[in-house]
Structure 1
Amino acid sequence: MRTFGKAALAALFASTAFLAACDANDGPAEEAGQKVDNAIEKITPDSKGPMEEMGEDMDNAYDNAQESVEDMKDAAETN
């Protein structure tokens, strides 16, 4: 059981480091992606641009990682 606790703790630290690297500020790549999306929306206003879809996928991945960290944190606290 101690090995599991150590592994869970290591996973928690790794996940925390991953989440700390994610920043809410828009960087130059995201701003460029938004410009591409805006240009594509002017051509095809009814559909999402590929960069917007990729951004949404990244948002979903971030949310899933955050939930996983919370789950691991809860699991570590119950042991």
Structure 2
Amino acid sequence: MKSRNILSALLIALGLTLAGCAEDQGPAEEAGENIDESMERAGDEIEGATDEMGDTLEEAGDNMEQSTDN
């Protein structure tokens, strides 16, 4: 009898767990995912811009060094 109750409880818990993993997303979850994607794209754009700026500054420094060597 006791093992039957435990088995029933485990099956109910499994059912609730699987129901919580449904593919349907609510509007808040969709909005959160959109925000995450936007932040990731913004981070990528900022990283690209800082890399480009660093390259430009390095090139400017090299040009200054060459002009002062002459």
TM value normalised by structure 2: 0.46
Which structure is higher in helix share?
A: 2
* Greater Rg by CA: 2
TM value normalised by structure 1: 0.42
